[in-house]
Amino acid sequence: MSEITVRRIVEISKDETDQLITILSRAYANHQASRIMLGGRMDLLHLNHQLLIGAGLLGGEIYVVENNKKQILSVALWTAPGKALEMERVEGFSDFIKEIDDETKAWYVDPFKIYINEYVPKVLGKTTLDSWWLSSIATDPDHQGNGYASKLILSKINEISAPNLVGLCATSEDTVNFYNSVGFTSKGYQELPSKFGKLSVWCFSRDII
């Protein structure tokens, strides 16, 4: 097996950007959350992840697992307390938002924004801005099952000073046991309505003490 390392990307190359977009897009291509958040426009998936990566570089922290050939296998986007991923600050956002229909734009206000601003603080005791937040994590489908996502999460948690809270939202039931296995506790479950059906959302947290 190739040697595996975890590192933070601070200055990103075009090749690294392309690798991250591909990993995120492949990992989330069949997720209900992607369909809902893009208003069914799955052709915008790559652009959405390009903006997410840009936001991660501006206001977040991007960590990757890579092998000795510099092939990126897994990626995690974090935000520290007081920080947020502001995709609207990234070049290309205006082009992206023009492609999203009005009903989907309204969905981001209600129910999604209400969930983040009201429900999450209620169950966690802190807002997303008051805690470390795992905004997105993905492993290339060809390399899943090797513990790379666990390595990304646990290596970052080991760097976070106590006391602190780490939070995240999951939108796939398949990941519930995974987050439990790396020390997170489910704090609540909600179903957000959309024109494509419900979006199941689990809220998790882990105390750093």
Residue among 54, 128, 58, 139 nearest 96 (CA): 54
pLDDT band at 1 (very low <50, low <70, confident <90, very high): low
Distance CA(127)–CA(85), nearest Å, equals: 14
The per-residue pLDDT for range 172-195, each reduced to its tens digit, is 999 999 999 999 999 999 999 999
3-state secondary structure of 208: strand
pLDDT at 2 > cutoff 90:
no
Q: Residue range 77-95: average pLDDT?
A: 96
pTM of the model: 0.95
Task: Give the DSSP H/E element, type plus range, for residue 59.
Answer: helix 45-59
Residue among 154, 161, 160 nearest 184 (CA): 154
Residue among 27, 24, 45 nearest 36 (CA): 45
Residue among 17, 47, 46 nearest 29 (CA): 46
The per-residue pLDDT for range 22-46, each reduced to its tens digit, is 999 999 999 999 999 999 999 999 9
> How do the domains of the chain map onto residue ranges?
4-208
Average pLDDT, whole number, for the chain?
Answer: 97
CATH number for the 4-208 domain, one of 3.40.50.720, 1.10.287.3510, 3.40.630.30, 3.40.50.1970?
3.40.630.30
Distance CA(5)–CA(123), nearest Å, equals: 34
Instruction: Note the pLDDT of residue 115.
Output: 97
Label residue 162 left, alpha or beta by phi (over 0 means left) and psi (-120 to 50 means alpha): beta
Query: Token match 């938002």: residue?
Result: 97
pLDDT at 139 > cutoff 90:
yes
The per-residue pLDDT for range 11-20, each reduced to its tens digit, is 999 999 999 9
Q: Residue range 152-177: average pLDDT?
A: 96
3-state secondary structure of 64: strand
Cβ-based neighbours of 68, under 8 Å, separated by 6 or more:
2, 3, 5
